[in-house]
Amino acid sequence: MNTKTLVPTQDRQQQKWYLIDAEGKVLGRLATKVATILRGKDSPLYTPHLDMGAFVIIVNADKIALTGKKLGTKKYFWHSGYPGGLKEVPVQKLIVQHPERVVQYAVKGMLPHNRLGRRLNKKLFVYTGNEHPHSGQKPEKIEVK
């Protein structure tokens, strides 16, 4: 009887590419699905300490939807490191200036906050229009509810 536990290695699986259209999708639900794919939790070979996920391309980030009153009340904060250096920007302004950052921030917050999370975040590509430069990878289009 074989009682050995299979521990997958990094080179065991081939990295896939997925294309997601964000038009009309709710930000949080989209980010949850994308974080699951990036982490590889949808794979039977999921291992918490390894990068087992796929690459994700998100198009039409400028047409993302926010529920409730978030468009008027949600703000993003960061600190410059200097005294009195707390910065903030409302999500309404960020969607106009840099809509791809709204999606990137949402997904980044759902990934681990360590070296693995930074590595997984590099596998996310977000674009405002319908075009992307990754057609050579032949991404598989998936639908997010």
DSSP code string of 73-119: H-EEEEE-SSTT-EEEEEHHHHHHH-HHHHHHHHHHTTS-SSHHHHH
Q: What is the pTM of this model?
A: 0.90
The candidate with the shortest Cα–Cα distance to 15, out of 54, 48, 43, 57, is 54
pLDDT digits (tens, 9 = 90+) for 67-79: 999 999 999 999 9
> What CATH class is the domain 14-65+92-141?
alpha beta
Amino acid at the residue 134: H
Torsional sign, CA 20, 21, 25, 26: positive
Question: Could you list the pLDDT tens digit for every one of the 145 residues in the chain?
Answer: 778 888 888 765 678 999 999 999 999 999 999 999 999 999 888 889 999 899 999 999 999 999 999 999 999 999 999 999 999 999 999 999 999 999 999 999 999 999 999 999 999 999 999 999 999 999 999 999 8
- Domain ranges for the chain: 14-65+92-141
Give the pLDDT confidence score for residue 13 in this predicted structure.
61
Q: Which of 129, 136, 133, 135 is nearest to 22 (CA)?
A: 129
